[in-house]
């Protein structure tokens, strides 16, 4: 197929005749709500993850709650030789295996946006005219879409090129003019529709430019879109894609040559032109902040906060349907060995990820997940399946300037996300909920307070920049027994443990439904549920073992809340009296009236080691353990309630109507 000049359709018909015939996979039905799955991620696993780590990488995508993955399929990698065979599984060595990357994500239930881009391998480093490779571009597009679209049913959305408005991605890859991109786009559309009539075409993401323009070969977003329309390209795509990178926080009105724009103003400007030219849905197929040590670098905590706020501000815009974060994993130097990644704190490109770059890719590593990973996971858990139903505050309320609050509803649940970026005093927001309980969570998923209420929650925003979530309504899992006193169920994975180990007497009522929090050692996801007396924790890495469900260290937590470090408490000499046990690990004894209860009701696995001696606390004899506080009630001697467990869950987390 050396001939480049002529109509694309005859070329495509020849290809179609020679393409192997397979039964097409059933198309994925489009969601009724165009914003139903907004949480995207730039992955490029085929280019950046080796085959032996692909399964782990997809596992981490699922943990984060990613709904869409943007997978870049380089032309020069799948067809390294002119007129040569297409190599979908990589050349060997474990990289560029697009079949494996796309197949694993599809099998995991993650939607894939395919990205098709760049000029061919045989013209790299040269500057041939577009007609020298345009026909072969159509061949590459057709074969790629036919394979992953019509035949395998794995990709139905295709983005054509990447940041074609920038010199290094457009001009330096053979698109010398906007008219050249329009021709590439038109060829791609014809090839895609011939390969898979159900496919949807996404414009190559147009990037915001904050630095001075190279007027010959770079175009800012509005200029590029207008000229694209004028060149006849507007009807060649179905979805408009932009990359609204910015140097500061998303709410900040940052100067862009002759005007100051925050994210909302930028999206309004794009949408205004979009409606004039012919309205299309908008996808943000890249956006991110790098936590590198240089100009415009941000801290890891700010990266996490900016990310959540960017998603919320963008998705509040009526026409924005998807947002893809750039990117999932920190990059390394392009020529570095995979097992020896290069770290450079001053290189911006190495620090956009939610995961730090390491080898091997170990989900149990304590330094793998950044705060932004935890924040993304919490955002998708709380807001996944919900629809934005109202803006309570938009930053412009004179009574609480710089404060935002968005409400989401759906599936019997509701949530309000709120944050502030300034103000001399912490504002207090009243959130009507018509609920009897609500949970306040910070952006890493940790439950800060379990609010009992008669219909409204008051939240004081004492933190600047960090989003908080207030959620209420039905538990995600409603299969277990329901307790109307608190409005929650006890379901899998905790119901069996609760029933087997003492039920209501041991653990009390549920104060929350199951929530995803972070393991304090690794940041990995663990499911927790709060009870009046304890917190149950489920570690999926220990499933099918006796230790999958454990009790949280609320005894330790409560002592620390009271300003007591148990390790500094006076310890007792060894050996203890014969009627007592002694635990050298903590230096404390266990004697009656608590010893018998401890031994008969679960011992070490349930309560942990003693952290104190028995002592008088507000008129009661108590003893603290890692996971509980025992209380002696002599007036109930001879009954099952002579020793009871303290309401540590209630005391640590429960509030009435107000946070904090």
Residue 248 burial by CB count (10 A; 0-12/13-18/19+): exposed, middle or buried? middle
Residues 485 and 622 in one domain: no
Q: What is the pLDDT of residues 488-518, one digit of tens each?
A: 999 999 999 999 999 999 999 999 999 999 9
Residue 15 scores a pLDDT above 60? no
Q: Is 40 part of a structural domain of the chain?
A: yes
Looking at residue 3, what is its pLDDT?
30
Q: What is the pLDDT of residue 7?
A: 27
367 and 404 together in one domain: no
In a domain, 361, yes or no: yes
Mean pLDDT, rounded, for 477-497: 94
| pLDDT tens per residue across span 595-611 | 999 999 999 999 999 99
Q: Which of 228-232, 325-329, 476-480 has the lowest mean pLDDT?
A: 476-480
10, pLDDT greater than 80: no
% of the chain residues with pLDDT over 70? 95
Which structural domain range is residue 258 located in?
A: 8-383
Six token digits for residue 91: 């050349």
Tell whether 215 is covered by a domain.
yes
DSSP codes of every residue in 236-272: G-SBEEEE---SS-TTS-EEETTEEE-HHHHHHHHHH
Residues whose CB is less than 8 angstroms from the CB of residue 626 and which lie 6 or more positions away in sequence, other chains included: 553, 555, 556, 607, 608, 609, 611
Given phi > 0 = left and psi -120 to 50 = alpha, else beta, which region is 32?
Answer: alpha
Same domain, yes or no: 283 and 336: yes
Contact 429, 457 (CB under 8 A): no
pLDDT at 301 over 90: yes
Average pLDDT, the chain: 92
State pTM to two decimals: 0.93
Domain end: 316, 351, 383, which one? 383
| Average of per-residue pLDDT across 241-252 | 96
Least confident of 158-167, 562-571, 621-630: 562-571
Three-class DSSP category at 521:
coil
CA distance 354 to 376: 8
Reference 74, options 54, 90, 58, 52; nearest CA is 90
pLDDT for residue 541? 83
Position 499 scores a pLDDT of 94
CA–CA separation, 341 vs 290, rounded Å? 18
User: Is 650 part of any domain?
Assistant: no
Bridge-partner residues for 418, per DSSP? Answer: 405, 468
d(CA 376, CA 325): 10
CA atoms within 13 A on the CB side of 345: 4
User: Cα separation of 245 and 324, whole Å?
Assistant: 12
What CATH number did the domain enclosing 196 receive? 3.20.20.80
Residues 365 and 498 in one domain: no
Q: How does residue 94 score in pLDDT terms, banded at 50, 70 and 90?
A: very high
* Residue 635 dihedral angles phi and psi, to the nearest 5°: -70, -10
Among 264-273, 421-430, 529-538, 572-581, whose mean pLDDT is lowest? 572-581
Answer yes or no: do 205 and 299 share one domain: yes
d(CA 83, CA 636): 89
- Same structural domain for residues 428 and 373? no
Both 294 and 403 in a single domain? no
659 is a domain residue: no
Q: Does 462 share its domain with 546?
A: yes
Q: Beta strands of 270-410 (E only): which ranges?
A: 282-287, 320-325, 387-394, 403-410
Given a cut of 60, whether residue 16 has pLDDT beyond it is no
541 with 583, same domain: the answer is no
Question: How many Å separate Cα 407 from the centre of its chain?
Answer: 19
Nearest one of 318, 304, 300 to 64, comparing CA atoms: 304
Q: Which residue has the tokens 């207008």?
A: 226
CB atoms within 10 A of CB 212: 8
What does the pLDDT read at residue 32? Answer: 59
In this structure, are 17 and 140 located in the same domain? yes
DSSP state of 41: E
Q: Answer with the residue of higher pLDDT: 450 or 6.
A: 450
Is residue 492 located within the same domain as residue 586? no
pLDDT over threshold 50, residue 26: no
Radius of gyration of the CA atoms of the chain, in A: 29
Strand, helix or coil at 472?
Answer: strand
Burial per residue of 567-577, b for 16 or more beta-carbon CB atoms within 10 angstroms, e otherwise: eebeebeeeee
Higher local confidence (pLDDT), 86 or 19 = 86
Total domains present in the chain: 3
pLDDT for residue 164: 97
Residue 652 lies in a domain: no
In the prediction, which pLDDT does 636 show?
93
Residue 162's φ and ψ, nearest 5 degrees, are -140, 120
pLDDT tens for each residue of 44-76: 999 999 999 999 999 999 999 999 999 999 999
Of the three residues 319, 348, 383, the one that is the final residue of a domain is 383
Task: Please indicate, yes or no, if residue 658 is contained in any of the structural domains.
Answer: no
- Residue-wise pLDDT for 254-298, tens only, equals 988 888 999 999 999 999 999 999 999 999 999 999 999 999 999
Pairing of strands 320-325, 68-74: unpaired
Q: Kindly report the CATH number assigned to the domain that includes residue 434.
A: 2.60.40.1180
Label residue 14 by pLDDT band (50, 70, 90): very low
- Summarised one tens digit per residue, pLDDT across range 646-660 is 999 999 999 999 999
Whether 61 maps to a domain, the answer reads yes
- H-helix or E-strand spanning residue 648: helix 648-653
Q: What is the dihedral of CA 418, 424, 426, 430, to 10 degrees?
A: -70
Element at 144 (helix H, strand E): helix 134-145
- Say yes or no to pLDDT of 2 above 50: no
Same domain, 275 and 290: yes
CA 301 – CA 122 distance, rounded (Å) = 44
Rounded Cα–Cα distance for residues 22 and 151 (Å): 6
Cβ neighbours around 503 below 10 Å, total: 12
Instruction: Give the whole-angstrom CA distance, residue 500 versus residue 60.
Output: 32
DSSP 347: -
Of 495, 526, 555, the one marking the end of a domain is 555
Q: How far apart are CA 402 and CA 392, in angstroms?
A: 13
Q: How far apart are the first and last CA of the chain?
A: 70
């Amino acid at each position: 197929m050396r001939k480049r000049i002529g109509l694309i359709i005859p070329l495509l018909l020849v290809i179609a005749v020679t393409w192997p015939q397979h039964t097409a996979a059933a198309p994925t039905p489009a969601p009724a709500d165009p914003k139903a799955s907004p949480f995207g991620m730039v992955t490029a696993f085929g280019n950046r993850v080796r085959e032996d780590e692909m399964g782990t990488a997809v596992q981490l995508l699922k943990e984060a709650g990613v709904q869409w993955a943007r997978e870049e399929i380089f032309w020069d990698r799948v067809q390294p030789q002119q007129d040569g065979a297409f190599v979908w599984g990589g050349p060997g060595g474990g990289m560029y295996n697009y079949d494996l990357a796309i197949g694993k994500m599809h099998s995991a239930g993650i939607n894939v946006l395919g990205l098709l881009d760049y000029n061919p391998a045989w013209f790299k480093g040269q500057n041939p005219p577009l007609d020298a490779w345009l026909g072969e571009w159509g061949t590459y597009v057709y074969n790629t879409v036919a394979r992953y679209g019509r035949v395998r049913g794995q990709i139905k959305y295709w983005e054509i090129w990447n940041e074609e408005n920038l010199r290094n991605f457009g001009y330096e890859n053979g698109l010398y003019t906007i008219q050249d991109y329009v021709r590439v786009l038109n060829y791609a559309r014809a090839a895609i529709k011939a390969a898979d009539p159900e496919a949807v075409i996404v414009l190559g993401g147009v990037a915001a430019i904050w630095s001075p323009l190279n007027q010959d070969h770079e175009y800012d977003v509005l200029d590029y879109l207008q000229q694209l329309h004028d060149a006849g390209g507007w009807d060649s795509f179905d979805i408009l894609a932009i990359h609204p990178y910015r140097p500061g926080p998303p709410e900040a009105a940052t100067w862009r040559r002759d005007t100051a724009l925050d994210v909302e103003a930028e999206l309004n400007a794009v949408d205004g032109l979009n409606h004039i030219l012919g309205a299309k849905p908008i996808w943000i197929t890249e956006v991110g902040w790098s936590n590198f040590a240089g100009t415009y670098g941000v801290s890891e905590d700010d990266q996490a906060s900016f990310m959540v706020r960017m998603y919320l501000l963008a998705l509040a815009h009526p026409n924005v349907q998807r947002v893809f974060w750039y990117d999932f994993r920190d990059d390394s130097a392009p020529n570095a060995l995979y097992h020896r990644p290069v770290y450079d704190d001053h290189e911006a490109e190495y620090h956009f990820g939610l995961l730090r770059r390491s080898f091997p890719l170990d989900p149990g590593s304590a330094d793998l997940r950044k705060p932004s990973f935890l924040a993304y996971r919490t955002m998708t858990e709380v807001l996944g399946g919900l629809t934005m139903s109202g803006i309570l505050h938009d930053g412009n309320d004179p009574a609480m300037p710089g404060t935002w609050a968005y409400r989401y509803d759906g599936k019997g649940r509701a949530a309000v996300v709120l944050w502030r970026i300034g103000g001399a005093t912490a504002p207090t927001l009243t959130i009507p909920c018509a609920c009897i309980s609500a949970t306040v969570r910070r952006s890493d998923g940790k439950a800060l307070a379990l609010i009992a209420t008669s219909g409204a929650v008051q939240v004081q925003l004492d933190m600047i920049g960090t989003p908080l979530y207030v959620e209420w309504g039905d538990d995600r899992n409603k299969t277990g027994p329901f307790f109307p006193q608190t409005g929650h169920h006890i379901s899998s994975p905790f119901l069996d443990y609760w029933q087997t180990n003492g039920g209501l007497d041991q653990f009390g009522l549920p104060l929350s439904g199951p929530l995803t929090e972070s393991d304090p050692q690794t940041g990995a996801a663990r499911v927790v549920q709060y009870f009046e007396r304890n917190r149950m924790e489920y570690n999926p890495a220990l499933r099918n073992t006796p230790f999958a469900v454990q009790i949280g260290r609320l005894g330790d937590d409560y002592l620390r809340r009271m300003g007591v470090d148990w390790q500094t408490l006076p310890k007792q000499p060894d050996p203890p009296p014969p009627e007592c046990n002694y635990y050298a690990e903590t230096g404390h004894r266990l004697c009656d009236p608590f010893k018998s209860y401890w031994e008969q009701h679960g011992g070490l696995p349930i309560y942990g080691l003693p952290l104190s001696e028995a002592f008088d606390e507000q008129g009661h004899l108590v003893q603290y353990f890692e996971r509980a506080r025992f209380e002696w009630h002599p007036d109930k001697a001879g009954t099952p309630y002579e020793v009871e467990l303290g309401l540590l869950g209630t005391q640590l987390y429960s509030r009435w109507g107000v946070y904090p």
